[in-house]
Chains A and B, each alone.
Chain A
Amino acid sequence: MSLTASSRVAKRAILARLNRVKLPPIEKETLSYPRWKTQDEQLLTQRFIAGLSANHAEVICVNSTEIAATLTQVLTSKAYKSVVLGCACDETLSDSAANECTAYHCEKGEFYAEILAGARHCDLLQFDSVVEDFKSRLFNEVDAGITHCFGGIADTGTLVLWPDRAEPRTLSLIPPCHIALIKRSTIVSNFAGMMSEQAWQEKMPTNIVLVSGPSKTADIQQTLAYGAHGPSQLIVILVEDR
């Protein structure tokens, strides 16, 4: 029997057993739970920074004119030599592909020029082809990956990434340090609110990742250690755009 055939048989049998149980479907509940929320911009930013810092991320607040200089300073102080960054869609994609690309980086990832300027003294690797082409460099040579963010969640101190063609997933995963630029205006109070207000269910991309600190584990004797498999450092550049 072919794989799909036996899977189809299993599917029918499982569903038949479940359907034998006649249950009145329960309608969506009206219950809710208190979610952290504020209208106060300052409080929102404070909570966002506090959450990230408590989870071992470094947060640097800048205005948009300071991005390049700050980035240079971060890279120099950490002695990072080689960085990988996304690509500006319009330069590398054909027209049709660029039209399809509705991702946030294309619309709002406006700090591309600043990133280039800030990292100009480093060895720059641009993520402009498939990962297979430079997997080995990504794994073995790169010190840091730089990305924009789709948004932020103040309640838990969380970055929301919607990786896309311009900024693939491994950019924020494989290098030992992830540097994320986030716009102050994209920070909202809580996860549930962000999801429902932006109607995520209508437009799920290939992958969404919530990041709330550098990679960590407490698997050995409940002792917290950072840099388990993902980046051991998370540096957040918070850009005041209001």
Chain B
Amino acid sequence: MNHSSKGPEHFHSQAKAALGDPQLRQNFRGAMDYLQDKRKSAFHDPVEEEKIRDLSEAIRQRCLSKLPQLLELLDTNCTRNGIEVHWAENSDEANDIIARIAQRHEAKLIIKGKSMVSEEIELNHEMAKLGIECLESDMGEYIVQLDGDKPSHIIMPAIHKNKQEVSDTFEHHLDNFTPTLDVDELIQTGRTRLRQKFYDADIGLSGVNFAVAETGSLCLVENEGNGRMCTTVPKVHIAITGIEKVVEFLSDVPPLYSALTRSATGQAITTYFNIISSPRKSGERDGPLEVHLVLLDNGRTQAYQDADMRKTLQCIRCGACMNHCPVYTRVGGHAYGTVYPGPIGQIISPHLMGLDKTKELVTASSFCGACAEVCPVRIPIPDILQRLRTAAKNPPEADMIPMTGQASAASTLESLAMKGFAFAATTPTLYHAGTWSATKLKGLMPDNIGPWTQCRTSPKFADNTLHQLIKTRNKKKGETS
């Protein structure tokens, strides 16, 4: 089944549809229980957990405090190492850079490792327009791509499918495939089909987990080996990343890496950790002849302008916040209609897409705080969501730079009602008249008051106002004492 959605503007209807899909809910429930347990056992010592989160947060805040300087240093050191660095303001520019590299090499096939940023710029779609095929090689991404679907999780893209559904997908799209529920067989099918593609591809494209300014190195975290394939076998390697992924020192990497793998899948370490510092040097016998790094802004500088929102950029994309979010675990990733779903998606998407498109998203939270409790870099996600809600409803304060789509959720009726209430509440005669009539006319309260009564009974005003109750009580007290 194709679960792709129409976008974040339709969150409510998409969430409703997802809630009505028992199979989908079961798939997510199982996966999230699994990931929550794994994380818990990876951080079995709470003291150590606190310490590694403190350190990870401090590293990310330090690196962001010098972001422009570190980006320049990264650029200089990568260039010195022979990596070609490109800067892109938005998706169009990033796609343009990649297209030109591809065209220069007359590339027909780009084999891709996992990269959420490439989803963000809709690379596959844009390259297809130019006759360049982009093929996902991460197992989950490959399955999702076969289906014309989108990833529903940033770490486990095909989490919304169970093995039966994967078998169905393969049966539908691959020749000579015999349906099976044996996961090893399913994986071997993917492996065999993709091997030839690694061999044939002209270009390998990857994301970046950490870009080290000090040494001009790109670090990649993975288990499958497809990331190594993409960055080693084709003659050209293109890495694409958001500008926030830079770290200052090589020594910043081990603690962040440990926090990442443990938060994401509960692993002490992943199978592969790949540090790339240059293209093939003279005398070396393999590796790409060209390495390119594309640094993408796409709204990140907007988040950077504001002290609270800047914390969004601390994210190391572990996915723990979504694994623990009661909303995400029930509606799944597609309902959000954004590349990054769940809590991190709710706070980053408004910068990437504008508040006008994402104003529904920022309301999709119970403010339970589970996301902030597990975030390895301690991003205060609920606080940032509050800020975004305010920005969606109100114009910026005098000294602030407006966000894209600022105040797009402002409702005249709502603000009039609020103003009216404020006036009434601060004018004693009006206030008393209001509460008096509310208690007297409570029988007129309708049983159905919109979404509120969908799963709650309509509230009834009390027989007496609080003022009256206190007055009576005080009177009684006076009588007895």
* B87 x A14 contact (CB < 8 A): yes
Q: Which residues of B contact A200 (CB under 8 A)?
A: 215, 250
For A8, the chain B residues whose CB sits under 8 A away are 87
Contacts of A207 in B (CB 8 A): 232, 274-277, 287
Per the bound structure, the CA–CA distance linking A229 and B271 in Å amounts to 12
> Which among A24, A55, A201 is the interface contact of B250 at CB below 8 angstroms?
A201
Q: How far is the CA of A238 from the CA of B289 in the complex (A)?
A: 34
Contact for B100 among A3, A128, A221, A227, CB less than 8 A: A3
CA distance in complex: A127, B52 (Å): 42
For chain B, the bracket of interface size reads 35 or more
Q: Which of A17, A93, A212 contacts B301 (CB 8 A)?
A: A17
Residues on B with C-beta less than 8 A from A15 are 68, 71-72
Q: Is A28 in contact with B62, judged by CB distance below 8 angstroms?
A: yes
Q: Does A164 contact B284, Cβ atoms closer than 8 Å?
A: yes
Taking CB atoms, residues of chain A closer than 8 Å to B214 are 201
Which of A135, A205, A222 is the one whose CB lies under 8 Å from B199? A135
CB closest residue in chain A, given B269: A156
The complex places the Cα of A213 from the Cα of B229 at a distance, in Å, of 16
| CB proximity to A under 8 Å, residues B252-286 | 253-255, 257, 265, 268-281, 283-286
- Residue contacts A-B, CB under 8 angstroms, 10 given: A6-B96, A26-B61, A128-B285, A139-B199, A157-B269, A192-B251, A215-B271, A218-B223, A220-B186, A230-B272
Within 8 Å CB of B58, what residues of A? 26, 29, 31
Q: Is A209 an interface residue (CB 8 A)?
A: yes
Residue of A nearest to B158 (CB): A219
Taking a contact as CB atoms under 8 Å apart, the answer to whether A97 and B224 are in contact is no
In the complex, the answer to whether A225 meets B269 with C-beta atoms within 8 Å is no
CB closest residue in chain B, given A196: B251
Q: Which residues of B contact A23 (CB under 8 A)?
A: 65-66
Of listed B67, B253, B285, residue having the most chain A CB within 10 A? B285
Check if B72 sits within 8 Å of A204, measured CB to CB: no
Given A32-B51, A135-B199, A216-B224, the answer on whether A227 and B187 have CB atoms closer than 8 Å is yes
Answer whether residue A131 sits at the interface, using C-beta atoms and an 8 A cutoff. yes
Is A21 among interface residues, defined by CB-CB distance under 8 A? yes
Chain A residue numbers with a CB within 8 Å of B52 are 33
Cα–Cα distance between A157 and B35 once the two chains are bound (Å): 22
Which residues on the A side are within 8 Å of B184 (C-beta)? 225-226
B251–A33 contact, CB under 8 A?
no
Q: A33-B51, A201-B215, A225-B184 are in contact. Are A21 and B285 (CB under 8 A)?
A: no
B361: chain A residues at CB < 8 Å are: none
User: Which residues from chain B contact A21 at a C-beta distance below 8 Å?
Assistant: 304-305, 310
Number of A-B contacts (CB under 8 A): 265
Q: Do B301 and A18 have beta carbons less than 8 Å apart?
A: yes
**Residues from 166 to 180 in A contacting B, C-beta threshold 8 Å:** 168-170, 173-174
With known contacts A20-B305, A130-B286, A14–B243 Cβ distance under 8 A = yes
Contact of B255 among A25, A128, A155, A192 (CB under 8 A): A192
Residue of B72, B191, B278 with most partner-chain A CB within 10 A: B191
Chain A residues within an 8 Å CB radius of B270: 212
Contacts of B271 in A (CB 8 A): 55, 211-216, 230
Contacting A at CB under 8 A, from B304-330, are 304-305, 310
Most buried by A among B215, B224, B248: B224
Question: B34, A217: Cβ atoms under 8 Å?
Answer: no
> Please, what's the 1-or-0 string for B199-229, where 1 marks a CB less than 8 Å from any CB in chain A?
1000000000000001111000001111011
In the complex the two chains form, is B269's CB within 8 Å of A229's CB? Answer: no
Q: A25-B65, A223-B183 are in contact. Are A230 and B274 (CB under 8 A)?
A: no
- Report whether B62 and A26 are in contact in the complex, using a CB–CB cutoff of 8 Å: yes
Most chain A CB within a 10 A radius of its CB, from B59, B138, B250: B250
A18-59 near B? 1/0 per residue, CB < 8 Å: 111101111111011110000000000000000100010000
Query: With the chains together, A70 CA to B284 CA distance in Å?
Result: 30
In chain A, residues 126-180, which have Cβ atoms closer than 8 Å to a Cβ of chain B? 127-131, 135-136, 139, 155-158, 163-165, 168-170, 173-174
Distance between Cα atoms of A31 and B60 in the complex (Å): 13
- Cα distance, A194 to B194, chains bound together (Å): 35
A contact residues around B431 at 8 Å (CB)? none
Q: Is the CB of B163 within 8 A of A205?
A: no
The yes or no answer to B24 lying at the interface (CB within 8 A) is: no
| Contacting residues of chain B (124-181) with chain A, CB-CB under 8 angstroms | 137-140, 143, 156-158, 161-163, 166
Closest CB in chain A relative to B163 CB, distance in Å: 5
Q: Decide if B385 is an interface residue (CB 8 Å cutoff).
A: no
- Closest B residue to A128 by CB, please name it: B285
Measured between beta carbons, the chain B residues less than 8 angstroms from A32 are 51, 55
Report whether B284 and A18 are in contact in the complex, using a CB–CB cutoff of 8 Å.
no
Enumerate chain A residues within 8 angstroms of B166, measured Cβ to Cβ. 220-221
Q: Is the CB of A170 within 8 A of B232?
A: yes
Q: Would you call B276 and A206 a contact (CB within 8 A)?
A: yes
Cβ of B360: which chain A residues have Cβ within 8 Å of it?
none
